[in-house]
Amino acid sequence: MPPLSSYRPTEPPDSPVNDSDSDVDLDLQELDPDTSSHVQASRLLGHSYSSEQRVPRIALRNIRMGGLRRSGNRGRGYGELGLNRDGNGDAVGLLEDDAQGQRYSDGSGNAGDEAPLLNEYAPRPQRRPSAGERLQGLAHIGSSLRLPSFMSSGTGTNRQDDDGIVDNKEDDPSTSRIIAVGSPQPTRYPPNLVSNAKYTPFTFLPITLYNEFSFFFNMYFLLVALSQAIPVLRIGYLSTYIAPLAFVLAITMGKEAYDDIERRRRDNEANSEEYIVLDFGEPGYRGTALRPSRKLMSSSLRSKDRQSLARRDRLSDIQEEEEQAEGQGRGQPSSLVQETKKKSRDLKVGDVLKLSKGQRVPADVVILKCSTPEVAQAQIRVSENTELEPTLVDAFEVDADQGSSSTGKGKEPESDGSHVSEGASSGETFIRTDQLDGETDWKLRLASVLTQTLPVEEFVRIRVTGGKPDKKVNEFVGKVEVMATKNDALNSRSDESSISESRRSAPLSIDNTAWANTVIASQATTMAVIVYTGPQTRSALSTSLSRSKTGLLEYEINSLTKILCALTLALSVVLVALEGFGNTEGNIWYVKIMRFLVLFSTIVPISLRVNLDLGKSVYSWFIQRDPGIPGAVVRTSTIPEDLGRIEYLLSDKTGTLTQNEMEMKKIHVGTVSYANEAMDEVVAYIRHGFAGTTGESVLVTPSSSYNTTAGVTATRTRREIGSRVRDVVLALALCHNVTPTVEEENGQTITSYQASSPDEIAIVRWTESVGLRLAYRDRKSMILESTESGKVVVRVQILDIFPFTSDGKRMGIIVQFQERLKPSGGSDNGEMWFYQKGADTVMGSIVAANDWLDEETANMAREGLRTLVVGRKKLSYEQYRDFSTSYQEASLAISGRDAKMQRVIAEFLEHDLELLGVTGVEDKLQRDVKPSLELLRNAGIKIWMLTGDKVETARCVAVSSKLVARGQYIYTVAKLKHKDNAQDHLDFLRSKTDSCLLIDGESLTLYLTHFGVDFISVAVRLPTVIACRCSPTQKADIAKLIKEFTKKRVCCIGDGGNDVSMIQAADVGVGIVGKEGRQASLAADFSIEQFCHLTKLLVWHGRNSYKRSAKLAQFVIHRGLIIAVCQTMYSIAIKFEPEGLYKDWLLVGYATVYTAAPVLSLVLDKDVDENLANLYPELYKELTSGRSLSYRTFFVWVFVSIYQGGMIQGLSQILTEVDGPRMVAVSYTVLVLNELLMVAIEITTWHPVMIMCIIGTFLFYVGSMPFLGGYYDLDFLLTWGFIWRVLAIGSISLIPPYAGKLIRRAMKPPSYRKVQGI
C-alpha cells in the first residue's frame, strides 16, 4: 500500500469517486495541521469560535452514512451500523455515539485530534499505516468530540450541551475514574461487599442502648435502679432492681445481635459466590505458571478460518489488514492470560470477569467482549453451504452507482460467510434487569467495537474512563481507549500532547454496561471489566440503609406506661399529702415521695419487656416451622405483631405476582378463535399449509395456494380458515426480533431463543409448537423449518426492521421471500411483504376497516391477556424503492430525524394493512395469586401494585390477577408533564372513589413533587392503585408518604434488588426468594418463597401474634398493678410510711417463678383455628382498629386490678393482722393463686403446655413455702384458719370479674364467638 500523503484524503476500497454523497467528500483544508492548530489551542483555552470564524469541517455525516447504504443496513439507525461485521473497524466512535441521539451537523469539535491523523504512526517507522488506521483516525475526530469535558484531559472547565446550557457538575476531573484494565489501580476503591447488616462491632452497643432507653419504661427503670445507690432511698436488695433491667437488656440486645449475625451470615453466602477472573501475567513468565493455565483465544483469532470463506466488505478488509500489520509490528502479546476463581468479595475495580448465561453480575461492569459458544458457531457453519438470493438493497446500491433506476440485475450473489462472522463475534449479549429496575424485557448490551476485535491478551492496553458513582440506572457516560502499551494504560496522568499517537478511543454509554444484580441471559461468554464495586454500585446507591424497626404495639405500650407512671407519681404525692408535708423523724417529704415511687415501681412492670420479647421469639419460631409456609425466615423478630395490623400492602409485580414467564394462550383470526385444546386444529392447518410444496426445492410464500392433503375433502370455508391460520402463523414467525441459539446440555442439543421481550419469545415458541420453527436468523435473513419434517419451508431476506418503542407500541419488518432453495438470479423475483404487530390502540387505525377487532381485543383484555394485533401488506418493487429512497433521505436529516423517519413509514407502509389476527399472551401468575389477593382485600387491606414495568403490562396483570375487580373502572394518568391539569385528575378521583388509579412514574413524580399531600389523600381512599415505571426511590417514597399521612401500618413485598428500598421503608418488609437473586429477601424482615404464603403470614400468624401480645401485655400490667394496690393499702394502714409489703425474694419471685410461666403461656392461646381465620378474613379487619389493646381495655384492667388488690390486701389485714408474717402469708398466697386462676379464666383454647405451667407453678409455690420462714409464720400455714382465709378472700377477688366477663360475652359476643357458633 502506498504511504499516506499529508494532504491527500484516503479512499476506501470500492469507493465511487464520482458519487457526490460518498465517504470521501472531505475538504482538503480539513487535514492541514497548520490551519487547524490555532483552533486546537483556542479550544483548549476554553474559547469558542463563531460559525464565521470556523474553518470548514469534515462532512462527518457522509462517513456516518457510508455504511448505511450497504446491503442489509437500510433499516437500522446509526448505532447499529458497525455491528454487522466481524471486525467493525474503529469507527464506533461515530457510530455508537449516534445511537444516543447526540448528532452534529458539521462534525465540529476538538481539532486537536486531526493533527495526529496525519503523522499517526510517525514515531514507529518500522510499521506502515494501514487503511483501517487512517479511517479510524477520521472516525475519532467525531468520537472524541461527544464526550463530556470531565473525561477529556484538556483544561476546559465547562461542558456545553446542545441547548447551550453550561453544566458545571460533571466537569470536575476528580469525580471521574480512570481504570487500567487487568492491572492494580492506583486509587483505592471500596471492597465488593454486599451488606444488609444494621450494626458494626463498634456501633452495636451505642445504637442498641440508645434504642432501648428511648423507650420511656426502660429509662424509668434505669432511674429506679440508679436510685438504689442512694442509701436513703434504698428499699431491699439492690439486685432486686438492677437484675431485671439487666436481664431485659441482655435478652433484647441478644436478639438484635443474633438477627444481625444471621444477616451477616447470609450476606457472606452472597459475598462468597465464585466468579472466573482473567489474570494478566507478564508474557515472559509463560513457563513459570504455578497452575495449569488456560490460554484464551480471542474471537478474532478463532474466526480466521471463517473469514477466509466470507466475502469481505469494505471495513472488514481494512480491519484484517490492520490486524496483520499490528501482528507484524508487535513481537509478542502484551500479557499471558490465565483463568482464576475469585469470590465476589475479593473482586476489585479493574478485574476482568468472564461471565456466562445465568450468572449474576456481581458489580457494575463495562462489557469488553462477547463471544458466542462454539456449539452455536458450529451450527451456523452448517448454514454456510446454502446460498441466499441477493438482497434488494444491493440492487439499489448498484443502481445508485450507475445512475440508473432500472433493475433486474443485482450484484453477484454473496455467500453466507459474511453473516457467519457477524453472528460469531457481533459483540452482543442480553441481560435481565428485573432484579434492578423491575422491567421484564431483556436488554441488549454491546461490547465496544474497539475492544470486541481486540485479542484478550491485549486487554491490558485498555483504559476505561467513567463518571462518579451514581444511582441513575439508565445513564452512563464514559469512554474506552486502547493505548499503545500496558504502561501507557497505567499512566493516567499523561496529557494530550504526550499521549502516544496510536491511541484509539471510543465513547461508552449505558448500552456498554451491565449493573450489579443483573443476570446474563445470552449464551454468549461475556468479558467485562469492573468499574464500580460494593457500596458504589448503582444497586447499592439506590438502596437505603437498613434501619431498626419498632412495632406499633411497642409504641402503644410505651404510651400506656406513661399513664401508669403518672398514676404512680400521683399516688405517691397523695399518700405523702395525706400524712402532711411536715418533716417527721428526719425524712423530708420529697424523700418520702421518692421512696414511694420506688415502692410502686411494679406498676410499670420491668417484666413486661421480658415477656413481650420472649413472646416475639415464640411467634418467630411458629412462623419458621409452619409447614404451610416452607422456607419462611424471620429476619427481624421484633415486629411480628405488626403482621396483624397491616392496612396497606404495596406489592411489586415482576417475580412477586407474576413468574415473568409468558405463554401464548389465545389467537383469533377473524371468524374463529383458538385456545387450549383447540390449538390442535391450528397444528393440523399448519401441517397442511406447509406440506403442499410440489418439489423439494420449492419454498412457501404468502401467495402459495393453501393445500389440503390428498383424499381429504375440505369445504371452501375450511380452506379459507386454513389459509388465514397459515398466514397469521407465518406473520408471527417472521415479525419479531428473536434469535435462536443452540446449546448442549447433558449431551443433547437444545434450541433456546433470546430477545429483548419475553412476549416475542412466547410467540415464537408457540409458532414452533404448532409446526413452524425459527431455525436460523441473522441481520439479513431468516429461515423457518417445519417441525414435523425438519425441512426448510420458508426463507426470507430481511430488508428493513422497525423496532418496538414505548411510544410507537408496534414493530414492523419488511421481508423478501425466496421461492426456491437455490436463487434464480434476479433480485426482484421474490415477493416483498411488510408485516407489523402492535397494541390494539395504535393498530386499530393502521389496519383496514373491520367489524371485530375492538370486540375481540376487549374480550382478551378482560381475561388479562396482553393483546397484539397482526397485519401485513404486499409491496411492489416500485413501492419499496420509493419508500427506501424517502426513508434514507429522512434518516440523513439533522433535526427531527426520528419524526421524519416515522412520517415516511406512516406514508408508505402504515395504512390499509390486511388484518390477520389478534394474539393473547398471558404473563403467568405466581401460584394462588388470585385467591390470595381476594382474601387480603376481604381482610380490609388496600393493595397497591408498584412496578418498573410498562403501563400495558401492569394493566393486564392487574386484570388477570383480579387485583382490579371485573367491571371496575381503571382511571389512567400517564405522561403528565405539567401541573396545570393535574388537579382535574384528582377532582375526578375524589368523585369516583370506587375506581382504580393507574399512574406512570413520570406523572407520579409530578404529583409527589407538587401535590404530595393532595395526591396521597385521594389515593389512600381508592381500593387499588397501580403505579408503573417506578424507580426504586419512588417506591420507597410512596411507602413513606402513606405511613406519614395515614399513620397506618404499611407492608411492602417484593423479590428484586429494586424493591429493597421499598421493603426497608415499610413498617413490615416481606421479601420473596427470587429465581435470580436473594437481595430482597436478605433485606426484608420476613422472607417467604411464594406470594400466596403472605396470606397465612398475615391472616393467621399476624393476627395471632397481635392478639396474644395484646393479652400478654395487659396481663403483665395487671400483675404489676395488683401488687402496687396491695402496697398502697398496706402503706395507708401503717400510717403512710413508705415501707415495703413484700420484700426481697417475695418481690422478685412474684414477677418470675411464681407467675411468669403461666402468664407467658398465653402466647399459645388462639381464639379460632386456622381454617376459620382463612374462611372469615373479616376477623383480621377488626384488628386494624387496635381494639385488642386500647385505652378502653387498659382502663378495664386497671379497675379490675384495683378491685382485686383492694380486696386481697384489705381482707387479709381485716381477717388476720394489720402488719405481721400471718398477714403477709395470706395476702401473698391469695395474690399468687389469683394470678394463676386469672390466666385460666382468660384462656380461650387450652394447650397442654398451659395446663402444665399453671399446675407446675402452683406445686412449685406450695413446695417453696417451707423455705419462706423469713417472711411467713410457718406454724400458721398448717392451720385451717390459713386455708379458709385464702379460699374466702380468693373467691371474693375472682368471682365478680369472672361473672362480669360471662355477662358481657352473653350480651355482646366477640366476632370469634359468632363464627365459632356458625
Report the distance separating Cα 948 and Cα 473, nearest Å: 12
- Give me the phi and psi of 795, to 5 degrees please: -135, 130
Q: Are 798 and 835 in contact (CB under 8 A)?
A: no
Please give the pLDDT value at position 693.
53
Report the distance separating Cα 1160 and Cα 615, nearest Å: 7
The burial of 102, by beta-carbon neighbours within 10 Å (0-12 exposed, 13-18 middle, 19 or more buried), is given as middle
Q: Are 703 and 789 in contact (CB under 8 A)?
A: no
Closest CA to 361 of 189, 522, 472, 545: 522
H-type alpha helices, 99-130: 115-118
The string of DSSP letters for 412-431 reads PPPPTHHHHHHHHS--EEEE
Instruction: Calculate ∠ Cα 727-732-733, nearest 5°.
Output: 95
902's CB contacts (< 8 A; 6+ apart) are 808
Q: Which residues pair with 742 in a beta bridge?
A: 751
The burial of 797, by beta-carbon neighbours within 10 Å (0-12 exposed, 13-18 middle, 19 or more buried), is given as buried
H-type alpha helices, 691-845: 716-734, 758-769, 840-843
Closest CA to 1041 of 1023, 1018, 1070, 1072: 1018
Report the distance separating Cα 389 and Cα 792, nearest Å: 15
Strand ranges in 864-1001 using DSSP code E only, listed in sequence order: 866-875, 914-925, 942-946, 970-973, 996-1000
pLDDT digits over 1024-1062, tens only? 999 998 888 889 999 999 999 999 999 999 987 788 889
Q: Are 742 and 379 in contact (CB under 8 A)?
A: yes
* DSSP state at residue 1274: H
Q: Which residues pair with 354 in a beta bridge?
A: 276, 527
Region label for 788, one of left (φ > 0), alpha (ψ between -120 and 50) or beta (otherwise): alpha
Number of Cβ within a 10 Å radius of residue 1004: 24
Cα–chain center distance at 989: 30
Report the distance separating Cα 97 and Cα 1307, nearest Å: 79
* DSSP state at residue 587: B
Report the distance separating Cα 152 and Cα 481, nearest Å: 11
**Sheet hosting strand 336-343, strand order edge to edge:** 336-343, 274-281, 352-355, 525-532, 364-371, 513-514
For the chain, the distance separating the N- and C-terminal CA atoms, rounded to the nearest angstrom, is 98
Q: Are 384 and 416 in contact (CB under 8 A)?
A: yes
Please give the pLDDT value at position 62.
38
- Give me the phi and psi of 970, to 5 degrees please: -105, 115
Q: Which residues pair with 280 in a beta bridge?
A: 337
Q: How far is CA 1147 from CA 7, 98, 1119, 1155, in A?
A: 104, 81, 12, 11
Query: Could you say which of 171, 259, 437, 652 is catalytic?
Result: 652
Q: Are strands 832-838 and 810-817 parallel, antiparallel or unpaired?
A: antiparallel
**Sheet hosting strand 478-482, strand order edge to edge:** 177-180, 462-466, 478-482, 504-508
The burial of 710, by beta-carbon neighbours within 10 Å (0-12 exposed, 13-18 middle, 19 or more buried), is given as exposed
Please give the pLDDT value at position 151.
40
CA dihedral 1285, 1287, 1292, 1293 (to 10 degrees): 100
Report the distance separating Cα 20 and Cα 936, nearest Å: 70
**DSSP SS3 for 1120:** helix
Number of Cβ within a 10 Å radius of residue 557: 26
219's CB contacts (< 8 A; 6+ apart) are 213
H-type alpha helices, 625-691: 679-689
Which parts of the chain register pLDDT below 50?
1-174, 286-316, 318, 320-321, 324-329, 374-424, 495-500, 694, 709-713, 826, 1318
* DSSP state at residue 335: -
Q: Which residues pair with 466 in a beta bridge?
A: 177, 478
Q: Extract the C-alpha cell encoding 1246.
A: 387450652
Residue type (1 letter), 413:
P
Please give the pLDDT value at position 81.
39
Report the distance separating Cα 60 and Cα 58, nearest Å: 5
Active site residue 86: no
Q: Are 285 and 336 in contact (CB under 8 A)?
A: yes
